[in-house]
Structure 1
């Protein structure tokens, strides 16, 4: 059996401190320790141009800032289809074209990967290139969780079945 192609995509605006956490966490991964079938991609704030990046991917793990009006550093794990049932107060993305629209377009084109989103509640969206200490503190736990997810995908060809992570 061929290993599934797994992509970890960090999205966000690195100029707005914690809004860039999805991109910043990619630097915290030990790239040498990742299996060969895993690719790390900076999605930045790109919109629909991301569709071509994910067309050959089997499993997409997105990391992004989400506004759940929760404690800074709270981690949420959900599938795109869960967004319909989230409260209206929960904003999935701070970007102009959300990743959900990208996935919808990929789905229409018949090449949307199975997708999982790890969202982190930011502390600050002020101008700045660094993420806040509260967010940096979550990175090791979040990376460990994503590594477990990758191991599970490689073993079972599916995402882990578990409730959303809460702090």
Structure 2
């Protein structure tokens, strides 16, 4: 079965267009492929402009703090790194009520537990988007503190953006190629964490630990200190 079927089936053409659209990238930029979702939203903002009722959000690892974004959206597009058990860089699209189940299928980190709870709480309160699309990418590497997307995952971003833009267009989001650069205050990610700066300014392995802060490792992990 194709990774894009049958979950990628579109809503009936007669459905009214959503009044509010939220595009949400979730994940942790500091752990390699965990940053896929945030990088997608960052690239989407750099390349396109949208109708006023479309909001782009760097959800990071905020968990329940994202609840209002979900509750206020009539349509929700999510980008995230998801462990589907597929080949690294493979995209899979999941829709509507199936999304909470996939968000918790194989939890890679606490942010997915938190966001699964956000979706479930929104459903419980009766304020759940009528349309939800998760564009997930199978990660290759997560245990690289300060690392960036691996080549296979970074290459998958372009296809993910094409799929996302097509969906946003079908929802009435009016994606248009950006003709003027963003100002620093408009960007969804801080300048220091933007992809190019993040990759080029990374310290060497000798200067910065690749597996986290060794001060907090148990003795058995890295020997007695």
Name which of structure 1's ranges 2-11 and 35-44 shifts more when overlaid on structure 2: 2-11
Task: Verify the 8 A CA contact 1:3 1:37 in the aligned structure 2.
Answer: no
Instruction: Indicate the residue corresponding to 1:67 in structure 2.
Output: 83
Structure-2-length-normalised TM-score = 0.61
CA deviations 1:16-62 (Å, max 9, x no partner) are 11011101111211454333322110111111111122222110111
3-state DSSP class of the match of 1:13? coil
How far apart in 1 are the matches of 2:37 and 2:92?
13
Is 1:115 the counterpart of 2:129? The answer is: no
Structure ID, larger Rg? 2
3-state DSSP class of the match of 2:72? coil
From the superposition, tell whether residues 6 and 76 of structure 1 become closer, same or farther in structure 2 (CA, over 3 Å): same
From the superposition, tell whether residues 64 and 93 of structure 1 become closer, same or farther in structure 2 (CA, over 3 Å): farther
Q: 2:151 aligns with which of 133, 139, 158?
A: 133
Is 1:27 the counterpart of 2:45? The answer is: no
Larger RCO, structures 1/2 (Cα 8 Å, 6+ apart): 1
Is 1:101 the counterpart of 2:111? The answer is: no
Which sections of structure 1, spanning at least 5 residues, go unmatched?
A: 156-167
How far apart in 2 are the matches of 1:107 and 1:23?
24
From the superposition, tell whether residues 112 and 84 of structure 1 become closer, same or farther in structure 2 (CA, over 3 Å): closer
Matches within 5 A, 1:1-167: 4-29=19-44, 30=46, 32-82=48-98, 90-91=105-106, 94-96=109-111, 97-113=113-129, 114-126=131-143, 127-154=145-172
How far apart in 1 are the matches of 2:124 and 2:33?
32
How far apart in 2 are the matches of 1:67 and 1:124?
11
How far apart in 2 are the matches of 1:10 and 1:152?
19
How far apart in 2 are the matches of 1:117 and 1:130?
22
The size of the alignment, in residue pairs, is: 153
From the superposition, tell whether residues 85 and 129 of structure 1 become closer, same or farther in structure 2 (CA, over 3 Å): closer
How far apart in 2 are the matches of 1:95 and 1:64?
13
**TM-align CA RMSD:** 2.5
How far apart in 1 are the matches of 2:39 and 2:123?
27
Name which of structure 1's ranges 105-114 and 57-66 shifts more when overlaid on structure 2: 105-114
Structure-1-length-normalised TM-score = 0.80
